[in-house]
Structure 1
Amino acid sequence: MKRIRITPAWYFSDEAGNQLDPKLFALLEGVHRHGKLTRAAEGVGVSYRHAWNLLNKWGEFFGIALVELERGRGARLSPLGEKLLWAEQRVIARLGPQLESLGSELNLAIQQTLEGTKPVLRLHASHGFAVELLPMHLGELSLDLQYCSPREALAALNRGACDLAGFHLPQGEVGGRVSREYRDLLKPRSHRVIGFIARRQGLMVAPGNPRGIAGLVDLAAGGARFINRQAASGTRALFDGLLAEAGVSPSRIRGYEVEEYTHSAVAAYVAAGMAEVGFGVEAAARRFGLDFVPLATEDYLWVCHQRDVEAPRFATLRERLRSAEFQAAVAALPGYAPRRCGQLMTLDEVLP
């Protein structure tokens, strides 16, 4: 299938018109990950000589080396190389969901023009690693995916702007507190729930956890710089619920008011050294080479109208969710697991 993929691009230029080669970021990421320029070059698909020439060229452009080579110790990023890499990662992490939503709209319009109208499932949900897997596993079922907060998704469902709305429900006592955020938008008589996944959330910290942070009390007492999620997000609702449960005031957390808009953006913020700890899913922490302190497990659920559950597109969706292929892909994500995946339930069965 022909698909549009929208990605951000960087442009550094000088008076001679030189522009930054996108392969440079892939090289920097490879050096950071492997500590060897040979491995980084292989990953990008270029020769060692070409990789070295590229690094030299852009080192001269900035006037500072981007990678430092040491005999017997491999390669490591210079301070500037690290700043460039993490800046690029933060841009992708912050803009990725919006660009993916726009790409979904464009792909759907183009596909319908080329192939005619096919069944479309409109899903409004918060961004997540398991949600990203869906377009690759739905076969002929077209997905119109729009990323938004849980409250926005449920409001869209109630006004008929989508077929499915995603929301998060933490397991345990904190789930009762968080569920109150959604109860005014949930209708037990006319809504049904489709199970999706469970995922671990917790604190993302630098490798080795140099601050020795084991929980929320340590976070508040130690004065570590924190990066938060935006107020409307389901992850923020979970974090605030955990703070209330632990008796920790947000005012005691340094940086509580500083926000990012995706799990990956929080992880990139910590990986760049701009904060010492953040809150989000384990998969994001592992992707950025961070350590992870688990604090909660939450169910990611979808809500739909009861009148729609027998429609063919919903049967196809539930069949795909129950497939071994999709569930294996979910299980491969750190901290993720399929949970009641594709199972149809009432709100009374899932709400605390």
Structure 2
Amino acid sequence: MPMNKTTQKISVIPSWCFRDEAGNQLDLHLLRLLEAVYRRGKLTLAAGDVGISYRHAWNLLRQGGEFFGVPLVELQRGRGARLSLLGEKLLWAEQRAIARLGPQLESLGSELNLAIQQQQQGALSVLRLHASHGFAVELLPKHLHEIPLDLQYCSPQESLAALNRGSCDLAGFHLPRGKVGERVRIAYQGLLKPRQHRVIGFIARTQGLMVAPGNPLGITGVESLVDNSVRFVNRQLSSGTRSLLDCLLKEAAVSSKKIRGFEIEEFTHSAVAAYVAAGMADTGFGVEAAAQKFGLDFIPLAIEDYLLACHHRSLKEPRFRAFLEILQGEPFQEAVERLPGYSPSQCGNIIEVASLL
């Protein structure tokens, strides 16, 4: 039975709760208001963005100041409004938490939506995708209307291992272009098997260094990271982005031991960007879309293909044919092109493993 196109999708969204020892609790609109003040610089405009009156906004800020014991926003006659030090800390703490929790919550939402569909419609032909978190992968649930998707986020090596043991139908992995990609290919040779697997083209994305607006430290590439005045924030060791960075460092003969903050790890591109935007680091490595999302400048360093592996026998199944049609269609590819630093690359085309390795 095809899935009802009117079935609503459930999203799991984190929210903060501030409560003191007496049980007093802050209005959740306060964090939305702080974000709007940071972006707009005027309380009147910020209140309008949040959908509340100026008086309500003023009361929220007053209550927040009383709750924490220090003001959250500095209001200056004729000069607008700006966040205080604590106000900025609260805003960026929330942004970092959302960026960190995003993949896990999306995976949980995928499980809940799948359970709801199965309860409503019985047995469904589910497409199980294991892949690292990324902006293009996030688009898939919005476009696979008639294909129930079980999306689980994990590293490229974990995804390919899951494919080999039959725990998923599709596995996402990254392959940088140029000489740097040669080192990454070695890691996939035992996991991608020419006789058993096929690769589906997906997207290409640009990776590089995210820096504060205007690039105040004059960072130009990975060579700049050894400057002791530059604070760096890294991705976790198992991620494809970390593998790419390690290859770029090796190619440039840069020792990671000389990079200040190399041991500090975040688990998503957005979490790295939020860390830099909060002023806790001067630069981090990731995709351009994350940099733009948090108002950072971007220094492009590499282009990589994000690919999907499957068993060759799976390509004969109706769910796979439908999946390929969606990837090849204009709606999905146009959505990818709207992402900064992303483009469709052989999207939906079948590629022989031997041609990659």
Q: Give the alignment's TM-score, normalised by structure 1.
A: 0.97
Give the distance between the partners of 1:4 and 1:303, measured in 2 at CA: 27
1:236 aligns with 2:237: no
1:340 aligns with 2:349: no
Q: Deviations over 1:74-107 (max 9, x none)?
A: 2211111100000001111111111111221121
What letter corresponds to residue 290 of structure 1 in structure 2?
Answer: L
1:4 aligns with 2:7: no
Q: Pick the aligned partner of 2:123 from 109, 114, 117.
A: 117
Give the distance between the partners of 1:233 and 1:314, measured in 2 at CA: 27
What letter corresponds to residue 182 of structure 1 in structure 2?
Answer: Y
Gaps of 5+ in 2: 1-6
Q: Which residue of 2 aligns with 1:21?
A: 27
What letter corresponds to residue 23 of structure 2 in structure 1?
Answer: G
Q: Is the 8 A contact 2:41 2:81 kept in 1?
A: yes
Q: Is the 8 A contact 1:192 1:345 kept in 2?
A: yes
Q: Which residue of 2 aligns with 1:36?
A: 42
Q: Which residue of 2 aligns with 1:158?
A: 164
Q: Deviations over 1:159-212 (max 9, x none)?
A: 000000000000111011111121110101111011111111111111111111
Q: Pick the aligned partner of 1:262 from 268, 285, 307.
A: 268
Tell me the secondary structure at the aligned position of residue 174 of structure 2: strand
Q: Pick the aligned partner of 2:63 from 29, 45, 57.
A: 57
Equivalence map 1:191-340=2 (5 Å) = 191-340=197-346
Gaps of 5+ in 1: none
State the Cα distance separating 1:117 from its structure 2 match. 2.3
Q: Is the 8 A contact 1:10 1:20 kept in 2?
A: no
Q: Which residue of 2 aligns with 1:188?
A: 194
Q: Pick the aligned partner of 1:131 from 131, 134, 137.
A: 137
State the Cα distance separating 1:111 from its structure 2 match. 1.3
What letter corresponds to residue 119 of structure 1 in structure 2?
Answer: S
What letter corresponds to residue 167 of structure 2 in structure 1?
Answer: A
Give the distance between the partners of 1:297 and 1:56, measured in 2 at CA: 48
Q: Pick the aligned partner of 1:101 from 99, 102, 107.
A: 107
What letter corresponds to residue 99 of structure 1 in structure 2?
Answer: L
Q: Is the 8 A contact 2:9 2:113 kept in 1?
A: yes
Q: Which moved more, 1:4-13 or 1:78-87?
A: 4-13
Q: Which moved more, 1:169-178 or 1:67-76?
A: 67-76
Give the distance between the partners of 2:231 and 2:210, measured in 1 at CA: 12
Post-superposition, which runs of at least 4 consecutive aligned residues in structure 1 deviate over 4 A? Answer: none
Q: Which residue of 2 aligns with 1:85?
A: 91
Tell me the secondary structure at the aligned position of residue 135 of structure 1: helix
What letter corresponds to residue 157 of structure 2 in structure 1?
Answer: R
What letter corresponds to residue 51 of structure 1 in structure 2?
Answer: A
Give the distance between the partners of 2:200 and 2:194, measured in 1 at CA: 13
Q: Is the 8 A contact 1:194 1:345 kept in 2?
A: yes
Tell me the secondary structure at the aligned position of residue 190 of structure 2: helix
State the Cα distance separating 1:302 from its structure 2 match. 0.2
Give the distance between the partners of 1:12 and 1:58, measured in 2 at CA: 10
State the Cα distance separating 1:348 from its structure 2 match. 2.4
Give the distance between the partners of 2:128 and 2:182, measured in 1 at CA: 28
Give the distance between the partners of 1:92 and 1:81, measured in 2 at CA: 17
Give the distance between the partners of 2:266 and 2:66, measured in 1 at CA: 33
What letter corresponds to residue 171 of structure 2 in structure 1?
Answer: A
Q: Deviations over 1:295-351 (max 9, x none)?
A: 111110000000001111111111111121111111111111111111111112334
State the Cα distance separating 1:62 from its structure 2 match. 0.8
User: Equivalent pairs: percent with the same residue?
Assistant: 68
Q: Give the alignment's TM-score, normalised by structure 2.
A: 0.95
State the Cα distance separating 1:70 from its structure 2 match. 2.2
Give the distance between the partners of 1:350 and 1:44, measured in 2 at CA: 49
Tell me the secondary structure at the aligned position of residue 213 of structure 2: coil
Tell me the secondary structure at the aligned position of residue 171 of structure 2: strand
What letter corresponds to residue 245 of structure 1 in structure 2?
Answer: E
Q: Is the 8 A contact 2:228 2:260 kept in 1?
A: no
Q: Deviations over 1:218-275 (max 9, x none)?
A: 1113541110000000000000000011111111111111111111111111111111
Q: Is the 8 A contact 2:201 2:347 kept in 1?
A: yes
Q: Which residue of 2 aligns with 1:69?
A: 75
1:147 aligns with 2:131: no
